[in-house]
């Protein structure tokens, strides 16, 4: 086994164990202190991750010759990521807060452009900052919404479906990948890897969904698995598109063999919307 693969397996195992421990601890705290705002531990971890991911995205934008608005960008990620908590603190559904908060964030980005750079590169800088804030902020917000609306078990199934797809695609593609999917965008991805990833994602959803007692049948879990797997792989390609534009191999060098934080969470960020919609539909149909 190559050294790079051994490092990847070791770090991947450590990350899975740490994540599992945090999810269990978050669930346990909610059980013993139900009067406390739910999900605060996850928020204390996920929101700073969103800030770090936006920083890496700023680095990618810089590689492509575009400067993101720092103050309004970071603040925007936090505000949009915090939307699910507004419902708990002040009432109303998450949707009631989404549009006003996004509007305020947009105003902040324009204001920073006017103050810092006036009319220089408005479309590039404002547009890229909006993209970065929505890319990271909405993904973080939807992850929190899954946790708050459907609970820790559903979030665990979601993460398992998406990340086991990544794992299955990596190992299947490494062993049998012959036919490249999009060689100009992501030379390492193959159709064989995609097939292995889809199978792993579906199996993970069925296994974790059954063990954790989600109120979904086998076919519903299979449907959830294939859609999460597809959305997650598309999310990985989306980040590859940004890195290709910036001519960077990784978003950062935080984790050996993995790259940056954004390289790790790119698939859950993009798949979170699909996960929330499908859980809403399948939960109601069960």
Q: What is the DSSP string of 192-237?
A: HHHHHHHHHHHHHHHHHHHHTT-S--HHHHHHHHHHHHHHHHHHHH
Cβ pair 6, 171 in contact under 8 A: no
Cβ neighbors of 41 (< 8 A, separation 6 or more) are: 22, 25, 26, 29
H-assigned helices in 33-117: 40-63, 70-81, 83-90, 94-116
Cβ pair 228, 165 in contact under 8 A: yes
pLDDT of the residue at 155: 94
Nearest to 194 by CA among 179, 212, 214, 211: 179
Spans of all domains in the chain: 39-150, 151-286
DSSP string computed for 4-31: HHHHHHHHHHHHHHHHHHHHHHHHHHHH
Cβ neighbors of 133 (< 8 A, separation 6 or more) are: 54, 72, 73, 76, 77, 80, 105, 109
pLDDT of the residue at 109: 97
pLDDT of the residue at 93: 59
Query: Which tokens go with 103?
Result: 């509007």
pLDDT of the residue at 104: 96
pLDDT of the residue at 30: 79
Per-residue pLDDT of the chain (286 residues; tens, 9 = 90+): 566 777 777 777 888 888 888 888 888 887 776 656 677 888 888 999 999 999 999 999 999 999 999 999 999 999 999 888 877 777 665 567 788 999 999 999 999 999 999 999 999 999 999 999 999 999 999 999 999 899 999 999 999 999 999 999 988 988 888 889 999 898 888 999 999 999 999 999 999 999 999 999 999 999 999 999 999 999 999 999 999 999 998 888 888 778 899 999 999 999 999 999 999 999 866 5
Q: Residue 281: how many CA atoms within 13 Å on its side-chain side? A: 11
Cβ pair 25, 41 in contact under 8 A: yes
Please give the Cα distance from 6 to 9 (Å, whole number).
5
pLDDT of the residue at 256: 79
The length of the chain in residues reads: 286
pLDDT of the residue at 202: 96
């Amino acid at each position: 086994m190559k050294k790079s693969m051994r490092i990847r397996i070791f770090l991947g195992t450590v990350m899975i164990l740490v994540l599992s421990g945090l999810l269990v601890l978050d669930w346990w705290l909610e059980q013993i202190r139900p009067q406390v705002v739910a999900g605060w531990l996850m928020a204390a971890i996920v929101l700073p991750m969103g800030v770090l991911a936006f920083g890496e995205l700023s680095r990618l934008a810089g590689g492509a010759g575009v400067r993101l608005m720092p103050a309004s960008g970071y603040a925007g990620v936090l505000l949009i990521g915090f939307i699910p908590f507004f419902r708990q603190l002040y009432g109303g559904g998450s949707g009631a807060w989404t549009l006003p908060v996004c509007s305020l964030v947009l105003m902040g980005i324009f204001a920073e452009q006017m103050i810092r750079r006036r009319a220089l590169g408005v479309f590039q800088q404002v547009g890229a900052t909006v993209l970065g804030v929505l890319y990271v902020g909405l993904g973080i917000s939807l992850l929190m919404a899954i946790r708050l609306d459907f609970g820790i078990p559903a979030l665990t199934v979601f993460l398992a479906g998406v990340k086991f797809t990544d794992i299955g695609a990596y190992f299947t593609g490494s062993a049998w990948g012959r036919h490249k999917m999009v060689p100009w965008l992501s030379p390492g991805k193959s159709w064989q890897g995609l097939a292995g990833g889809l199978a792993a994602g579906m199996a993970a959803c069925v296994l974790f969904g059954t063990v954790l007692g989600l109120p979904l049948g086998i076919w519903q879990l299979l449907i959830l698995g294939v859609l999460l797997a597809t959305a997650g792989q598309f999310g990985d390609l989306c980040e590859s598109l940004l890195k290709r534009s910036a001519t960077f191999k990784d978003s950062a060098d935080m984790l050996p063999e993995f790259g940056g934080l954004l390289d790790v969470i790119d698939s859950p960020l993009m798949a979170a919307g699909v996960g929330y919609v499908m859980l809403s539909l399948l939960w109601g149909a069960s």
